[in-house]
Structure 1
Amino acid sequence: MADLKLEREFPVSAETLFDWISDGAKLLQWWGPEGVHVTEHDLDFSRLGPWHSVMENDEGQRYKVSGQVTHVDPPNSVGFTWAWHDNQDQRGAESHVTFSVAVTESGSRLVLDHRELADADIAGNHEQGWTSSLRKLEASCK
């Protein structure tokens, strides 16, 4: 198993940052790596229960991921399970993501913890995807 941890600083309040990581309309503005768009979704990390999204790139390749929101603690953290779907729409190995928000002198900090990934290669792929997504969040959340 492998884990991934990324941190980013934002010049906004913890409450504002929490809205960006939990509210479905705001999530859609940064969800998924650069170069993909969300074509289908039930993104709402402000409540417990199921979620899913389908991302598509410019070549028409589709990537579906789904899970369960496991905890919501505004404005501190939200957690959810994560599993990619294969071409037959079967869920693969499940991992767990937690977004944690902390107040800083200049605004707030987001800590993204993605745990229980199958191996280091998969963790590396997720690091690339999350880093790209976080660039979109940084551009949106001002």
Structure 2
Amino acid sequence: MICEIVAVNPDAQYSGTTYTQTVCCQVENGTEISVFDSTPPIVDDAMRGNRIDAMLLARARDITISSEVSRTINPGNGTDCVYVGEVVGVASVGTSQIQALEVNVDIGTVYVEPDADFVDTVGAVESTIGELVTVDAYRTDIVDFDAA
């Protein structure tokens, strides 16, 4: 997802080393979301103002098959966010190769780590391709990026 780095806020630091941080990103429609950047952080403060193509992994609290027709991003408190979009595929994401849903939210793709209840309900996550879903994410991580 194309976004601009607005702010980088250290969360956990020790002896001058940042272990985790929150990155505020503005996506193409102007919405600002906060994403978690964990050990080791991949974004630094010098990137403020830069546009990147970010790979975002939403950690789902809840996923429901949706009747919503508009694809949206609704930021919550901290790194909480609600995403509404169409499942367009399944991919292995991040260094731990998490099997994630690829969800098109109109302005880009968010990868979603499904919660256990959703997997129990739908069976194979591949069966959700083409479905519209609402994802209530308790946290969204930035797991990789390229220059935009």
Please confirm whether the aligned pair reaches a TM-score higher than 0.5, indicating the same fold: no
TM-score by length of 2: 0.30
TM-score by length of 1: 0.31
Whichever of the two has the greater Rg, that structure is 2
| Greater fraction of residues in helix | 1
| Greater fraction of residues in strand | 2
